[in-house]
Every structure is written in structure tokens, then in C-alpha cells.
Amino acid sequence: MPRLVTMSKDLNADLPWLDALVWDEQGLLPVIAQDAASGRVLMFAWTNREALLETAATGRAVYWSRSRRRLWRKGEESGHVQLVSDIRTDCDGDVILYSVTQEGGIACHTGRESCFFYRLDGENGPWVAADPVLKNPKDIYK
Amino acid sequence: MPRLVTMSKDLNADLPWLDALVWDEQGLLPVIAQDAASGRVLMFAWTNREALLETAATGRAVYWSRSRRRLWRKGEESGHVQLVSDIRTDCDGDVILYSVTQEGGIACHTGRESCFFYRLDGENGPWVAADPVLKNPKDIYK
């Protein structure tokens, strides 16, 4: 797997911008993905050094899947790739913000534009699905 | 402290919308605060049941400060209160998104609009402070 060898090599290189970040005890950071055009917050996920390095190098959003314990190249199953135009971190250097162009206009596995589609209706709830399903998930994940 | 007694009472009540969320092992959830007008992602913080309940009830953003281990009513020192017009959660129910009106136009303790002011300049960095300081922090925290 020459790809991984290359990435490992890069990871061991001197990368001050990665070292400047404040990684948690698991070597992860939270990532917010925001639509570069609409400003909509699309999703929240996690990254590690390898995922962030690949994102910066390729311009395609890569995350670390905590449940699957592997790199998650967004869109690898759905085709809903995210092209990253801007990478930011916050004043504490412990959160990442990707500005993305969302291919297909769908970030959520439910077929919606954004994963943040549940809106609290009144101060006592309930949560209401406030955004339309743009595509049936059965037609996304074949 | 009648206020706290009241809140504790509420916390023990039947609150399905709070129970519906997937709290982490420390009883916390990440929160993204987004400017309702500009769409700018302003900050990232954490909430617990009490902070989220108070936010929903009062319309003012309250967080849980992990470092100080207490409720953090945003703006309590700076005056930079956040008025919350919309509370959302994501498809997994484990992240909160506040749409806020940021009083003073400054969310960051550095005196900037947003905490996400460091932009990665090129794929190898460095991180560059890309947003202006709107107000000297010395004049915010007196």
C-alpha cells in the first residue's frame, strides 16, 4: 500500500502547521463543514493528522470515522464529495472549519442538504425535521 | 440560590427533547454557534443539559465551560451576549447548532468577529490570522 507509506512518511516530516494544532488525547480534532456558497453548516465530524493532511493536499474533505476507525473520504460511497476551498482553525487551535462545495448538494446520509435538519420547535420541543429530503437514501447508497 | 433549585427541578422533569439527544459519557454535547445574519461560524463550545435547557428557556446562549467546570453565560464578562433564534441538532442528535445574533459583533476573546480567524495558507501552511481585531481585548475585559 504505497499510498499509506507515503502518508506515513509525510506524517513524520516536519509539519509545523499540524503540530500547531491542539490534538485531543486520541489524536483527534472536531471538524465543522460549512457550505462555501450558502453558508449552511452541513455536518460535524472528526479528523486526525492523516485525514487533515490529505484534505489539505488534495482539496477533498477527508475525515476520521470514529465508529469505523478508518479514514473516511467523504463521498466514497454516496458520491457526495466535498471540495475544500478553505481550512480554518479557531483561537485555541482545537477545532477545524472546512469551507466546502458539496457535490450533489447533499451532505447528510438521510438525503438532506445538511445534517442539521432537526429544529427545536418552541422551548420545550419537540425536535422537528425542518428540511426536505432531496434524494431517497436508497438511491444514494446502492 | 433559587435559580439553581429551579433549574434542577426542571432537569428532573420529563423533558423528551433533552432525552432525545445523545449525550457523551460526560453528559456533554458540542455546540456550534453561527451568526444568524452573516452565516459566519462564530465559535465552538460545549453544553450540558442545564446549559441547553437555560438557552432554550431564555433565548440567551449558555455553554458548559469544561475548563472552569461551570455554566458559562456567553457575554457574562465581555458583554458579548448571544441571542439565540434557532436551536438545531443533527441526524445523530449528538451536536447542537445555535443560530445567534452576536451582540457587539464580536464572539472571540481576541476581539474578532469569529474564533475561526486562522486560515491555512497553502497546503503546507502556515496558519495566518485572516480577520481583523475589531476591539482590543483590554477594552473588552476590564
Residues in CB range of A72: below 8 A, 6 or more apart: A45, A51, A62, A63, A64, A65
In a domain, B103, yes or no: yes
Residues in CB range of A94: below 8 A, 6 or more apart: A21, A22, A23, A24, A29, A30
In a domain, A39, yes or no: yes
In a domain, B15, yes or no: no
What does the radius of gyration of chain B's CA atoms come to, in whole angstroms?
16
Residue range of the domain that includes B50: 26-140
Q: Domain total for chain B?
A: 1
In a domain, B121, yes or no: yes
What value does the mean pLDDT take over residues B116-137?
A: 96
Q: How would residue A1 be classed by pLDDT, with cut points 50, 70 and 90? A: very low
pLDDT at position A7, please?
Answer: 53
In a domain, B112, yes or no: yes
Chain B contact for A66, CB < 8 A?
no
Rounded distance, CA A138 to CA B12, Å? 40
Q: Tell me the average pLDDT of chain A.
A: 92
In a domain, A44, yes or no: yes
- Residue A91 is nearest to which of B15, B95, B115, comparing CB atoms? B115
CATH of the domain at A125: 3.10.20.810
Closest by CA position to B139, among listed B111, B106, B103: B111
Assigned C-alpha cell, B68:
472552569
Q: How would residue A142 be classed by pLDDT, with cut points 50, 70 and 90? A: confident
In a domain, A57, yes or no: yes
pLDDT at B5 over 90: no
Q: Interface pTM (ipTM) of the complex? A: 0.92
* DSSP-assigned letter for residue B104: G
Contact list in A for residue B93 (CB cut-off 8 A) is 118, 127
pLDDT at A65 over 90: yes
Chain A contact for B119, CB < 8 A?
yes
pLDDT at B2 over 50: no
**Is A92 annotated among the ligand-binding residues?**
yes
From residue B137, alpha-carbon distances to A27, A88, B113 in Å are 31, 22, 12
Q: How would residue A11 be classed by pLDDT, with cut points 50, 70 and 90? A: low
Candidates B7, B95, B100: best to mutate against A (most CBs of A within 10 A) is B95
Highest mean pLDDT among A3-12, B2-11, B110-119: B110-119
Candidates B7, B10, B31, B32: best to mutate against A (most CBs of A within 10 A) is B32
Which residue has 455546540 as its cell numbers? B31
